[in-house]
Amino acid sequence: MKKSDRDQNITTIVSRGWCSGCGTCAAICPQKALTIEYTADGRYIPRLIQGKCNHCALCMSVCPAANDNFDQLNRFVFGGIPEDKLLGHYTKCYTGYCADSSLRWKATSGGLITALLLYLLRSGRIDGALVTRINKDDPLKAEPFIARSEDEILASIGSKYVPIPLNRLLDQILSEQGRFAVVGLPCHLHGIRHAEMKNKKLRDKIHYHFGLVCSRTMSIHGTEFILHKMGVSRDEVAELKYRGDGWPSGMIVTLKSGERKYLPMLGTWWSEIFGGYYFSNYYCTLCTDLFAEMSDISFADAYLPDIIKTDKNGTSIAITRTTVGDRLLKTAVIDKAIEISDLSPGAALRSQKAMLLFKKRNISARAAYLTIFGKLVPKNIRLNQNKFLRPTLLDYFAAPTVYVNIFISKNRVLKRFLKYIPFTFLVLYRKAFKLLLAPHIKSQRRDES
């Protein structure tokens, strides 16, 4: 590590707005000089305890934004650079769901993750899993925890579309006995892999890495906004489920009065606010990993035309990347924990077309804008443009939109204006954005010809 890096600590990353709030720095700091705090803008950031930092810069070396060298991570995890710059290293792609139909119904998109965690625990391959749950006292917040029993794994079911400082608990994995699985977003997995690179004990303890395909997270204010559109105030909420109870489903809110409210995810304020990057973390606009490329297995919603038309119970796409991941899926099928079918890598890509282009092509256009406006851009994006697709002219028109939307949702006056904007206008605005990202990935893939 260069001397200039040593002089810096994680607060540099926070002040640049690059922090994803993953929590890795706080868990790994040998001086315990960092705490993870909830901010007024509805996310988590590390804070330095004055006088405790010894400038070892370990926090910087595990931070996904400070140390975003994808090549280095790929060599560490897979032994080389991936041939496929859109999907990353992969072994095979599948669609699938868990064999237990009631679990499949409750999960976000088929329950493969929860079924596999239960399978690993029951078969004695792991002693615990680093997962997430909705906070009991404040159902708008979600928190990480280590699940060690079947009931605890069941309590972690479901996607929470809010920031969670998952990796804050890596120090618990280090201090406790056993073998573990981790489930996280791409930013979490980057932090975990960096930490494993630095710490062999951690590497030996984490046996399975499950990644959620992730376009972005939205601050807790985003959830509040959607609730407002459902006619619900934050104080009334007793329980909240972002999705689940069928597929693709929607937000299910139980009020303290006992009343239940439901808002479908697709074609409502839910999808427009989340999909339009309102209330998003700025870091998510700089993240170039959609498919959770550092996992043993990545999981996504099976947004494929045939499945969307026919399936009401939930189906996931699973992309295996390591022998560990592929072997696990196959044994889980043999032992009847899950059901899977082969899927072509091209179809896996198509299922996430718009977001893929946003992460892997539009990024260069966004980086150009940020540079013009005097913002710093992470090294990986600046120096490795050949790792991405070449942006089109339309990408340059689309690029500023997300920053405008983030700005609107952070500004007190404009946020109020957003509340009264007609829904149809919002839909058309996002459609225009998607049109600008017009997909052209077909010609770039071997398996699509």
Ligand X SMILES: Cc1cc2nc3c(=O)[nH]c(=O)nc-3n(C[C@H](O)[C@H](O)[C@H](O)COP(=O)(O)OP(=O)(O)OC[C@H]3O[C@@H](n4cnc5c(N)ncnc54)[C@H](O)[C@@H]3O)c2cc1C
Interacting residue ranges for ligand X, rule: CB under 6 A: 107-114, 131-132, 156-161, 164, 166, 183-185, 188, 212-215, 217, 299-301, 303, 316, 352, 355
* Amino acid type, 17: G
Nearest approach, Cβ of residue 446 and ligand X (Å): 23
Nearest approach, Cβ of residue 422 and ligand X (Å): 26
Judged by beta carbon, residue 208 or residue 269, the one nearer ligand X is: 208
Judged by beta carbon, residue 149 or residue 411, the one nearer ligand X is: 149
Judged by beta carbon, residue 118 or residue 237, the one nearer ligand X is: 118
Nearest approach, Cβ of residue 299 and ligand X (Å): 4
Judged by beta carbon, residue 9 or residue 24, the one nearer ligand X is: 24
Judged by beta carbon, residue 188 or residue 221, the one nearer ligand X is: 188
Nearest approach, Cβ of residue 31 and ligand X (Å): 27
Q: Residue 66 and residue 378: Cα distance in Å, rounded? A: 7
Nearest approach, Cβ of residue 309 and ligand X (Å): 17
Nearest approach, Cβ of residue 223 and ligand X (Å): 12
Q: How far apart are the first and last CA of the chain?
A: 44
Nearest approach, Cβ of residue 315 and ligand X (Å): 9
CB 47 within 8 A of CB 191: no
Helix axes 323-334, 112-122, angle to 10 degrees: 80
Nearest approach, Cβ of residue 186 and ligand X (Å): 9
Judged by beta carbon, residue 74 or residue 280, the one nearer ligand X is: 280
Judged by beta carbon, residue 37 or residue 71, the one nearer ligand X is: 37
Judged by beta carbon, residue 77 or residue 212, the one nearer ligand X is: 212
Closest CA to 103 of 154, 159, 160, 161: 154
